[in-house]
Amino acid sequence: MTPERRDLALATKGFMPADEGDALRAAAIDAAGAVPEAPMLEVGSYCGRSTVWLGDAAEQTGRVLFALDHHRGSDENQAGWEYHDAEVVDTRIGKMDTLPFFRSSIHDAGLEDTVVALIGRSPVVASAWTTPLAFLFIDGGHGVEPARLDYEGWTPHIAVGGTLAIHDVFPHPDDGGRPPYEQIFLPALESGRFELISATGSLRILRRLS
């Protein structure tokens, strides 16, 4: 990854620390080595911060990265809320619209030939998806139901030997919200279909076994 592209990722709005972005990219490159030809998919792109790290991995390994988001913001990040960023609101309709920021990030990173935006609700896209994935990154809705639906809808599409990456996994309630831990991380391990490979901050990397 060029220093320029990494700096661009670090300058993009979002909540992915540098060490986690680097670990995410390394895991995606490993996953491509384990599963020939299959694409990568990210659930929850927001303004494209993590997408630049993953897009770099996809470009380097000759894969396509699908970047899925409805771009209306998560339930916990809306106008008037504590973490809300007024810059990402479409004032015409009074709703969030992160797509223009996402497009700028991917354009400026030079990744438009590698990253394909999927704009829609995760369960709707998942219900029509059939292509096995080398790498799946879940960083979508952090509520109980969105997290559960992302687990159910997307993890079956990971190829055996492929990788599941989960963001914002907080085993201790004091550190952050529980759903990515309780609705995605634990069910994946308890299913027996995945093993834990590594942890970096709140990022968890799991490999599909069967």
49 vs 54, 76, 122, CA distance in Å?
9, 18, 19
Nearer to Mg ion, 150 or 168 (CB): 168
Nearer to Mg ion, 113 or 145 (CB): 145
108 vs 18, 24, 105, CA distance in Å?
19, 20, 5
Least distance to Mg ion, CB of residue 64, Å: 22
Least distance to Mg ion, CB of residue 18, Å: 14
Nearer to Mg ion, 56 or 69 (CB): 69
Q: Give 133's strand partners.
A: 158
Tokens 């990154």, located at residue: 137
Least distance to Mg ion, CB of residue 139, Å: 4
List contacts with Mg ion (CB under 5 A): 139, 167-168
Least distance to Mg ion, CB of residue 85, Å: 15
Nearer to Mg ion, 38 or 40 (CB): 40
105 vs 25, 48, 101, 160, CA distance in Å?
16, 6, 6, 31
Candidates 70, 71, 142, 167; catalytic one: 142
**How far, in Å, CA of 15 to CA of 169, rounded?**
13
Nearest to 119 by CA among 79, 167, 70: 70
The verdict on whether 107 is a catalytic residue reads: no
Closest residue to Mg ion using C-beta atoms: 167
Residues 6+ apart with CB under 8 A from 186: none
Catalytic residues: 142
